[in-house]
Structure 1
Amino acid sequence: MKDKKKEDLLQFINDWGGETFAKTLDIQFTDIDVENETLTATMPVLPRIHQPFGIMHGGASCVLAETMGSSLSNIFIDGEKYFGVGTNINTNHLRSKKDGMVTAVARFIRKGKSMHVSEIEIRDEKGQLISHTTMTNTIINR
């Protein structure tokens, strides 16, 4: 993929859908690797996404992971014929995070015609694993 096309695709997915939950959490797609079918995004860890004990709410991790898994599926299918919808998500919260930035990387575990299973890892600035998610998307006809 040429850089301009990559930049255009990243701009498209960052603008996708107008006002969304992803925008509310300031999720920003930063990289797409078409050859390896991976997608990368960042999310700031701010007090508004904390739980009462001052650490990132697990639900925020799940929103980031589901945004990543759903976007990954929908980018790598024929969007004029199909769309992918989340049908299962399982997240393990492995480390807490109070502030800074997290980075999520999504990749396929299995990419079938009617079902995609993806893995999403969320890491901190030091590369430490914050959470690990597996997600299933069903691919349905438009």
Structure 2
Amino acid sequence: MKEEMIRGVVEDACPFAQRTHLKVKEVDEETGRVTLVMGSDPANLNAFGLIHAGAICGLAETAGGMAIMRYMDPREVLVLNTVFNIRFVHPPRGELTCAARVVEEEARALLEEFRERGKADKAMDLKVYDSAGTLVAQAQATFRLIPTPEEYREFFARPE
């Protein structure tokens, strides 16, 4: 999946990302890293003026999923989160960033397993940092590759 499509999925097609102002900061083709940012919009705050835990979870989960999806053809494969565990280590302030990385060899092995078994799982460690570079949260997530349902394939159709 090209950077433009990742941006489109995150920034244009995902209502959660739009509400929380998630943005794609970088898709590094060389390292396989996808970096997302979330601004400190008042809509993302909890009653104490800190960024809500659910918004932080969404940032980390989306970054992990997109790092895997960047290697996939979404007309064939979707990536869904099946397990998510997060530990909050510091009060979040300002813009938050989460970078997730999948190298091409990992993606090839996942795709091969998916084509053999009809599914494949990928565990990832994800870290969220605030604008001061302070670690805010550490998450462990498991993502599953599944066949793209027929009704979603047209959404990802590419003009020839």
TM bin, normalised by shorter chain, reads 0.7 to 0.9
Contact 1:108 1:117 in 2 (8 A): no
Structure with greater proportional strand content: 1
Cα separation, 2, equivalents of 1:117 and 1:49: 27
From 128, 139, 142, give the equivalent of 1:136: 142
Number of the residue aligned with 1:117? 123
From 61, 70, 76, give the equivalent of 1:66: 61
* Cα 1:108/1:118, change in 2 over 3 Å: farther
SS of residue paired to 1:14: helix
Contact 2:34 2:67 in 1 (8 A): yes
Number of the residue aligned with 1:127? 133
Structure with greater proportional helix content: 2
Displacement after TM superposition at 1:87 (Å): 0.4
Number of the residue aligned with 1:87? 82
Gaps of at least 5 residues in structure 2 are: 114-119, 149-160
Query: What letter is aligned with 1:106?
Result: A
Cα separation, 1, equivalents of 2:8 and 2:72: 18
Displacement after TM superposition at 1:59 (Å): 0.7
Rg (Cα) greater in structure: 2
Displacement after TM superposition at 1:19 (Å): 4.6
Which whole-Å deviations, capped at 9, do the CAs of 1:23-48 have from their partners, x for residues lacking one?
Answer: 11111101112332211011112222
Gaps of at least 5 residues in structure 1 are: 1-7
- Name the Cα RMSD after superposition: 2.2
Cα separation, 2, equivalents of 1:62 and 1:26: 14
Q: Show the 5 A alignment for 1:1-142.
A: 9-16=2-9, 18-98=13-93, 100-108=94-102, 112=110, 113=113, 114-142=120-148
| Length-normalised TM-score, structure 2 | 0.74
